[in-house]
Amino acid sequence: MQPYELTLAAAAEEIRARRLSPVELVDSVLARIERTEPHLGAYVTVTAERARLAARNAEHEVAHGRHRGPLHGVPMALKDLIDVNGLPTTASSRVRTGHRANADSTVAARLDAAGAILLGKTHTHEFAFGLTTPQTRNAWDQDRVAGGSSGGSAVAVAAGAATFALGTDTGGSIRVPAALNGVVGLKPTYGLVPRHGVTPLSWSLDHVGPITRTVQDAALVLTVLAGPDPRDPASLPAPAAAPHYRPGPGTDLTGLRVGVPRTHYFDRVHPHVESAVRRALGQLEALGARLVDVDIPMTRYLQATQWGLMVPEAAAYHEHTLRTAPELYQDDVRILLEAGQLMSAGDHLRAQRSRALIRAAWESLLQDVDLIAAPTVPVTAAPADRPALTWPDGTEESVSDAYVRLNAPANITGLPALTVPAGQDPDGLPIGLQLLARPLAEATLLRVGHAYEQTRPALPQLPTPLHS
Amino acid sequence: MQPYELTLAAAAEEIRARRLSPVELVDSVLARIERTEPHLGAYVTVTAERARLAARNAEHEVAHGRHRGPLHGVPMALKDLIDVNGLPTTASSRVRTGHRANADSTVAARLDAAGAILLGKTHTHEFAFGLTTPQTRNAWDQDRVAGGSSGGSAVAVAAGAATFALGTDTGGSIRVPAALNGVVGLKPTYGLVPRHGVTPLSWSLDHVGPITRTVQDAALVLTVLAGPDPRDPASLPAPAAAPHYRPGPGTDLTGLRVGVPRTHYFDRVHPHVESAVRRALGQLEALGARLVDVDIPMTRYLQATQWGLMVPEAAAYHEHTLRTAPELYQDDVRILLEAGQLMSAGDHLRAQRSRALIRAAWESLLQDVDLIAAPTVPVTAAPADRPALTWPDGTEESVSDAYVRLNAPANITGLPALTVPAGQDPDGLPIGLQLLARPLAEATLLRVGHAYEQTRPALPQLPTPLHS
């Protein structure tokens, strides 16, 4: 096994025990990037020299007994919405030509303090306003979409081109590409991870979180990212006791009540996705969990609420550039932003009010179960040239709408949600199991996700030519 | 002195000591209503029979040693936006023809449980969307506006036609009519008094609070009104220790830091109002307070923020009736509601964002001082036939804008604000001193207001023909 193939937890253990140097690890991942980038296009920028310098520093620190913790010396990538001092934050957009961040975002600063090593900035669907990330190709089939908007981060982690990465999630943008590329993605509770220095899409729905190869890795990254920062107005206060995210070794889920949606999450879901997720539910039951049928509330209002909040907030952020240089946006994004400028205050208020009702209804739902288990997306990665799906009932749905549909509830409610790989379809494309829990119940999500991951059937590796 | 002239505290003490029966008190106030209503028009409905029945019950209870507290047997009026089971809530509007509430509002239920006796429902500017209350006349000069939107409640309390009353305040609607009629008005902290069963104007700015003759009376009413109710989504949780609102007898303000605005609150203020408020500030200093100059933040954004929040929320509440029966509204209100329907989501978001910034700036301001003291309104009661004022600098300002201007900050920030009478202008029209404090610092406001009230020069009584 090459160093670039290691999970974060395994790499961390090797580095801590001084069996692996951060320099070797970073060199291995940089070589992997050179090999995969021509096929995948995950990165906007690779900061190889900067990474090598940081790796030598980390090697020196670890060799002198100054080990900072599990992220020390581990190479990672940041979605290019996340400011790093001195680097451009391109948002994968021509609008940002000539941009340069003059300070670290909170998450970049926390990763840096923990000793993680930046490899570069990864592609996002332009300004995170889309679900495909057209610059990047799916790690499992280069004719398929990467998913988005954190497509570059998910593909890099899947392909061995980063040991972990960060994404952002406004309507599924961490979970969708993680699911479509067979990796783990965590959208934390709204307000748990500060967004200071991260370009907003829709500030009342935006989240930052990790994309990793395992659930345990997600816990290691969340431990570094979580915690208050008054520069994000939505940042939650620190809890009385520091939370412990890392899952223990056990896989016994006795006593856990897992809600299985009777509504919404299995409607218009591809049979291969449904059967893989039902198998995963059976696995949770085999580990001792009790499956409980639940009805998802207010499903008719989800899409209108998500778009009614997201579109005008995005338009507000882009107001100035939309006026001065609209031609710099890609057509799909510009059209959405212009639609946001036309929305009425009444429609926006309706979305705010229905959000309040949806939140209250989910709060009540989660009094009866500890978590909800469901598919992350209703279909695997779509062909890159196909903008819409046709369902057996004859209805057409845009690929974006299909990918947002099962993810939006966690953005509207702010609830934490985790996606874990749960098998492949017959074309070998990854399928994601989504777990949702109560506010700040990340430890529960991670414990259950880890138990599932330890006991599920083995997953295949990346197909050639990327598998080596 | 007639029973109708008693303060709430004095009436309560007489009733408790069984020197005054609730029946005598209610009869005295009902007789006063008969005498004043032809001149003032404060009431939509007087529920005299119901009040007499309740008075006999209260008399019986007190006589049998079941005294419920200081509100027991005390007659009061409710602004006709506040639901009382079985009575219409007219909102002083033709839109509500045939309306009948089928449950008590939270505040009506709490007053009823405390033994207060409903005299009737008082006029509001239609649906609370205005600052004059045209159906009602100022208690001090019947050619002048009552102020609004809680004009009926303030005039009734000023004229002896209710021992106390409730109003609502979205942009000054408790404080403006209280100041213009020479009585005390308290807008509590946002979320302290539940609004369940109270017709909204703008739910993110609406408050319910008492209008009384003295600060001590306001404390007695607040004690009954305050506390959580989950049926109001903005209701604050109960504090760890029950707050004690009733001010003690002392008037020493040593150690208190009183912020005196250098900006906003003394701009475009009539010289008679300014000099009365400056005298009141001198009085606070004489009691031991330290006056500290402060700069009010973001004053340029106050008006746009207040209207940018209020107008679309009001339009959202009235959406259905505006479509089906717009002709039932008065022109002034219908025009504002229609304007709200035309507002863009972008402008509404701008108002929400500037509210967040204004709140943060006031929080920082109130770290340096314990309260802010300022005028309540920049002019005394305007002639009823004059829609605008002309200031010495030549600018014109609508009477409504002038009355909202100094009140909006407490609605935008949710901070508690109290108005206390502070003298008269040469025409004998009352002037109000406004005190603002930190969230949930009502006890501070009431202590300072009470100390001022105890030590200010005596105020004249209502002019003839109402004075008897």
Q: Flag whether A185 is in a domain.
A: yes
Partner-chain contact A315 B233, CB within 8 Å: no
Residues in A touching B340 (Cβ below 8 Å): 345-346
- In one-letter notation, the amino acid at residue A181 is N
B54-99 pLDDT per residue, tens: 999 999 999 999 999 999 999 999 999 999 999 999 999 999 999 9
Please enumerate in sequence order all residues whose Cβ is within 8 A of that of A50, keeping only pairs 6 or more positions apart, or say none: A118
Q: Which helix (H) or strand (E) holds A16?
A: helix A8-16
CA-atom Rg of chain A in angstroms: 21
Q: Is residue B36 part of a domain?
A: yes
DSSP state of B207: -
Decide if pLDDT at B413 tops 60. yes
**Which residues does B53 contact at the CB level (< 8 Å), separation at least 6?**
none
Chosen for mutation from B307, B344, B355 (greatest number of chain A CBs closer than 10 Å) is B344
- Phi-psi map region of B288: left, alpha, beta (phi>0 left; psi -120 to 50 alpha): left
What's the pLDDT tens digit per position in B85-96? 999 999 999 999
Looking at B28, B105, B173, B202, which residue is catalytic?
A: B173
| Contact at CB, B344 and A345, closer than 8 angstroms | yes
User: How many CA atoms, within 13 angstroms, populate the side-chain half-sphere of residue B193?
Assistant: 33
Q: What DSSP state is assigned to residue B37? A: H
Higher-pLDDT residue of B381, A460 = B381
Of A341, A346, A356, the CB nearest to B341: A346
Decide if B233 and A345 are in contact by the 8 Å CB cutoff: no
Q: From chain B, pick out residues whose CB is under 8 angstroms from the CB of A346.
A: 312, 315-316, 319, 340-341, 343
Domain that holds residue B197: 3-256+410-466
Q: Give the amino acid at A240.
A: A
Interface of A with B (CB under 8 A): 233, 312-313, 315-316, 319, 340-350, 353, 356, 360
Residue B468 has pLDDT above 60, yes or no: no
Amino acid, res. B372: I
Candidates B310, B318, B349: best to mutate against A (most CBs of A within 10 A) is B349
Tell me which chain A residue has its CA closest to the CA of residue B360: A233
Per-residue pLDDT tens over the stretch A109-139: 999 999 999 999 999 999 999 999 999 999 9
Domain for residue B272, yes or no?
Answer: no
**Distance, CA of B225 to CA of B330 (rounded, Å):** 32
Mean pLDDT for the stretch of residues A234-258: 93
**What is the average per-residue pLDDT within A345-351?**
96
What does the pLDDT look like over A12-60, one tens digit per residue?
A: 999 999 999 999 999 999 999 999 999 999 999 999 999 999 999 999 9
Give the pLDDT of residue A462.
Answer: 82
Work out the average pLDDT over B88-114: 98
Smallest Cβ distance to B343: which of A345, A350, A360? A345
Model pLDDT for residues B312-368, shown as the tens digit of each residue: 999 999 999 999 999 999 999 999 999 999 999 999 999 999 999 999 999 999 999
In this structure, is residue B365 part of a structural domain?
no
Query: Tokens 């409710």 identify what position?
Result: B78
pLDDT category at A239 given cuts 50, 70, 90 is confident
C-alpha distance from residue A351 to each of A113, A304, A341, A347 (Å) = 39, 7, 15, 6
A93 inside domain: yes
The residue in chain A having the minimum alpha-carbon distance to the alpha carbon of residue B308 is A345
- Exposed/middle/buried for residue A98 (C-beta within 10 Å: 0-12, 13-18, 19+): exposed
Indicate yes or no: CB of B340 within 8 angstroms of CB of A345: yes
* Dihedral (Cα; A66, A70, A76, A81), 10-degree rounding: -100
Total residue length of chain A:
468
Statement: residue B163 has pLDDT above 60: yes
* Residue B271: pLDDT over 70: yes
Q: Tell me which amino acid residue A108 is.
A: A
Q: Is 80 exceeded by the pLDDT of residue A332? A: yes
Alpha helical stretches, state H, B289-420: 302-317, 319-324, 331-342, 345-365, 399-405, 408-413
Spell out which residues of chain B touch residue A312, defining contact as CB-CB under 8 Å.
345-346, 349
Backbone torsion region of residue B180, taken as left when φ is above 0, otherwise alpha when ψ lies between -120 and 50, otherwise beta: alpha
Q: Is the alpha carbon torsion for B459, B222, B235, B78 positive or negative?
A: negative
Whether A190 maps to a domain, the answer reads yes
- Kindly state the greatest CA–CA separation across chain B: 65
Confidence (pLDDT) at A465: 61
Asked if residue B64 is part of any domain, the answer here is yes
Residue of A nearest to B350 (CA): A316
What secondary structure, in 3-state letters, does B211-235 show?
EECCHHHHHHHHHHHCCCCCCCCCC
The confidence score (pLDDT) of residue A464 equals: 59
Mean pLDDT across chain A: 96
Q: How far is B306 from chain A (nearest CA, A)?
A: 14
Helices (DSSP H) in A288-330: which residue ranges?
302-317, 319-324
Reported ipTM = 0.82
Q: What is the mean pLDDT of residues A413-439?
A: 97
Nearest to A417 by CA among A199, A158, A174, A242: A174
**Which of the residues A105, A173, A202, A354 is marked catalytic?**
A173
Give the per-residue pLDDT at B241.
85
Q: Do the Cβ atoms of A344 and B345 come within 8 Å?
A: yes
Q: Is residue B282 over pLDDT 60? A: yes
For residues B292 and B368, the answer to whether their CB atoms sit within 8 Å is yes
**Using 50, 70 and 90 to split pLDDT, how confident is the model at B237?**
very high
**pLDDT band at residue B464 under the 50/70/90 scheme:** low
Whether residue B149 lies in the annotated active site: yes
Half-sphere CA count of B96, side-chain side, radius 13 A: 20
B28 is annotated as an active-site residue: no
Total domains in the fold of chain A: 1
The predicted-structure confidence for B146-157, as pLDDT tens digits, reads as follows 999 999 999 999
Cis amide leading into A153 (omega within 30)? no
Q: Which residues of A touch B346 (CB under 8 A)?
A: 312, 315-316, 319, 340-341, 343
A:B CB pairs within 8 Å: 53
Query: Count H helices, E strands: chain B?
Result: 15, 13
What is the tens place of the pLDDT at every residue in B120-160? Answer: 999 999 999 999 999 999 999 999 999 999 999 999 999 99
pLDDT digits (tens, 9 = 90+) for A152-191: 999 999 999 999 999 999 999 999 999 999 999 999 999 9
CA B318 to chain centre: 23
Distance of residue B26 Cα from the nearest chain A Cα, in angstroms: 43
Taking CA–CA distances from B314, the nearest residue in chain A reads A346
Peptide bond into B465 cis (omega under 30): yes
- pLDDT of A111 reads 98
Residue A467 has pLDDT above 80, yes or no: no
Question: According to the model, what pLDDT value does residue B240 have?
Answer: 84
Q: Hey, what amino acid is at A360? A: A
Supply the DSSP symbol for A126: G
For residue B319, list chain A residues with Cβ-Cβ distance below 8 A: 346
Please tell me which residue of chain A has the smallest CA distance to B343. Answer: A345
Whether B242 has a pLDDT exceeding 90, the answer reads no
Give the minimum alpha-carbon distance from A307 to chain B in angstroms, rounded to a whole number: 12
- Answer yes or no: are the C-beta atoms of B413 and B172 closer than 8 Å: no
Taking the C-alpha atoms of residue B22 and residue B20, their distance in angstroms, rounded to an integer, is 7
CB contact under 8 A, A344 and B340: no
Q: Which helix (H) or strand (E) holds B257?
A: strand B257-261
Q: How high is the mean pLDDT of chain B?
A: 96
Q: What are phi and psi of A44, to 5 degrees?
A: -80, -45
Residue B183 belongs to domain with CATH number: 3.90.1300.10
> Cα–Cα distance between B84 and B120 in angstroms, integer?
10
Q: Are A349 and B350 inside 8 Å of each other by CB?
A: no
How far is it, in rounded angstroms, from Cα B252 to Cα A40?
75
Does residue B325 belong to any structural domain of this protein?
A: no
What pLDDT is recorded for position A468? 56
Sheet architecture: strand order including B208-212: B43-46, B117-122, B75-79, B164-168, B208-212, B184-187, B417-424, B430-437, B371-375, B257-261, B290-294
Residues of B in contact with A363 (CB under 8 A): none
For residues B232, B234, B237, B243, the Cα torsion angle rounded to the nearest 10 degrees is -90
Residue B105 near residue B84, CB atoms below 8 Å: yes
pLDDT at position B71, please? Answer: 98
Q: How confident is the model at residue A147 (pLDDT cuts 50, 70, 90)?
A: very high
